[in-house]
Structure 1
């Protein structure tokens, strides 16, 4: 009789614990990246009432007779592999992981692996010091800084990601290294016969990121064949409009075919390429390779003799234009966790990459609250990697919702309640039977 009482008590205890798990799941139905839990039951010890026997000459076999002593909670496991639905936020630093990975975070900016925790909650923000941190508890997000990639196998020293610092707020300019001229020189253009000639201007970037204006004058070469011209550097102005000196020869002699008007040479180079260097105060400019191969020399047939001859920054493919100094205007995250900074000069530079971790047994991670997990003996060691190495990816502007299935939880709640009621009935019935036994004494 007492066995049924204790079995009923065990049933009440386990069903109460299952109800606690269900209640926690329902409470976290809107918790970002929460992973639902489920309870597994197992029977407990058995008392043998009659041993089993083997067969004999005159007897058959008999099975063992046992009475169970109730139930116990065998496990509370986390449904770690089921992803929650996608919740759009529009925040560039809200990141959702697709795959089995976890973000690596820590309350300490040190690189000590023992201080690391792991999370699926990708709600991040930038703190006052420019660090990428979790929104709910300010933990540092870990990865690598610079334009490198996290190697396969994770043999890398992680660091907290300080995205806004003196090193990333600005980007230095790059000097213009190529230029080209195009168009036609009209031999009958009267402007070419003046002392200053036809004025041309090209704006180029120096190695200091500042812009410089090169002022050229195109004049007739004063030859009898009337097919040579001189492009002379008249002046150089800096971004403040001040004139600066140049100590090198920056002039170009152009020769064209009298028969077809095509370029024959530029400073003797038949391919039309002139390598130009600058000195003195202008030493921050160049060197610049200037292409004249797209120019020609024809006299206009419409009576309006004017040269349509222009210079451009960069080569004919639009490359090597250089750029000015820039300041950071924004940050973005790609699907492999790479973080790119956008600058006012149009440049986009990779400055960091977010690392992720995977485990041989992610269900063995310990849940420690605040949407955090801790490594345990049963989870195995964290394997640091680029998220794309196992086919996963990150999506910016969205968060992972809780994976709690309310329909399932309500169904489990009903079955748990019925199980609790049934076990309580076992106790009350056993109590009534004991009362009957006590009544026999009277």
Structure 2
């Protein structure tokens, strides 16, 4: 039997497999984060017709006479390092890695797979999962970050709890709820004019704070002249406490705070920092520090003798104001994969961070379908890290496109077709030669 027949058959097989690879690439031209593949060929064994020999005294060297027996596929390799282009989606849960890393996903919190496809969603339990198959996205929960080799777990980005309705007849709601934080600091600022006529009846000052229960309360104070008729001495009284519904709440007896100012420079000499404790059956406010050091006692140069003192929650740097309870309104992502939750009370907290994996030989990863890869002996073990460790970053609202180059695929398709045709021609020509050989006996 002619060797050319078998060589041509092997050529048909290799070109058919290459066409399969090209067809798969083209079919995935719009697959998110798809990495194109290419086929490598090798020649196969050679039959030695005549062995070679070295040069002698009277003869030259002779090369071996060998006939090849066709071709074979050496490899189908993945172009894993070529970055796909950026596709804008506008969905904050769509993420794209720029760099060599892979998202870590799992179907059961034990088996690990890896993906470049960042089209994610949040399931009914508040976990971050892949859109296509519901695999959990892995990372580190809480304020801490991902470190090299960190132990990762699924990311629960919405911690839903049951919150009772405001009224007894309102049903409970399942929401991501953030408890409020109490106000721990407040301060008064401005001037108290001893000739201000409103001081005789008590000048009103009011400001809102947040109690230990995270609810807002309005504290109404009055400043009036002390009974000792000293124009530089005043009393600060808590008149009433109003809750968020505008109702007056019952609090324990409040002892007036005595404010004494220097007669010469108008600076406060007594009562500059006091601890205010508001408690009682109707309020869960607790205590906070009241700073009065920014108040003065000067006669006003303006007609009418008006005091300019005002009350503020927080300290003079704007800190320790407290905040009310809130509901989650938005999830966002940082370029390092950090996950942030923004609440209706204006607070933003870090909920966790997405971890990524890198490999010594990413081309050795095995494709397992569903835009997933599995580690292999050739890829090496996954190295868990922060995406920024090797200079990478994560963008939100975009996805990585397929890295298939259609121009290249069509060019490869043409050369593959020509190769297949040429090998088929070898078969038909070899068959014609066999027919001639067969006709010699007639």
Query: TM-score interval w.r.t. the shorter chain?
Result: over 0.9
Instruction: Spell out, residue by residue over 1:231-286, the C-alpha distance to the aligned partner (whole angstroms, 9 max, x if none).
Output: 1122223334232213563x32222232333x23232xxxx322333444478434
State how far apart, in whole Å, the 2-side matches of 1:246 and 1:323 are: 24
Residue 159 (structure 1) aligns with: 153
Counterpart among 242, 248, 251 of residue 248 in structure 2: 242
For residues 27-426 of structure 1, what are the structure 2 equivalents within 5 Å?
A: 27-108=27-108, 111-112=109-110, 115-152=111-148, 154-156=149-151, 158-166=152-160, 169-194=176-201, 197-223=202-228, 225-240=230-245, 241-247=247-253, 249=255, 251-261=256-266, 263-267=267-271, 272-281=272-281, 284-426=284-426
Q: Give 3-state SS (helix, strand or coil) of 1:202's partner.
A: strand
Q: Give 3-state SS (helix, strand or coil) of 2:305's partner.
A: coil
Q: Does 1:22 align with 2:22?
A: yes
Displacement of 1:58:
2.4
State how far apart, in whole Å, the 1-side matches of 2:86 and 2:160 are: 35
State how far apart, in whole Å, the 1-side matches of 2:331 and 2:252 are: 40
Q: Point out where structure 2 has 5 or more consecutive residues left out of the alignment.
A: 162-174
Displacement of 1:287:
2.8
Residue 167 (structure 2) aligns with: none
Instruction: Spell out, residue by residue over 1:6-41, the C-alpha distance to the aligned partner (whole angstroms, 9 max, x if none).
Output: 111111110111011001101100000000000000
Displacement of 1:298:
2.1
Structure-2 change in CA distance of 1:225 and 1:73 (3 Å): same
Displacement of 1:72:
0.3
State how far apart, in whole Å, the 2-side matches of 1:103 and 1:317 are: 41
Contact in 1 for aligned 2:126/2:160 (Cα 8 Å): no
Contact in 2 for aligned 1:248/1:279 (Cα 8 Å): no
Residue 169 (structure 2) aligns with: none
Displacement of 1:165:
2.3
State how far apart, in whole Å, the 2-side matches of 1:247 and 1:46 are: 105
Displacement of 1:191:
1.4
Would you say how many aligned residue pairs link Structure 1 and Structure 2?
A: 428
Displacement of 1:60:
2.0
Displacement of 1:382:
1.4
Output the TM-score relative to the length of structure 1. Answer: 0.93
Q: Give 3-state SS (helix, strand or coil) of 1:176's partner.
A: coil
State how far apart, in whole Å, the 2-side matches of 1:148 and 1:207 are: 26
Structure-2 change in CA distance of 1:285 and 1:56 (3 Å): same
Q: Please provide the CA RMSD for this pair.
A: 1.7
As a proportion of its length, which structure holds more helix? Answer: 1
Displacement of 1:321:
0.2
State how far apart, in whole Å, the 2-side matches of 1:417 and 1:227 are: 102
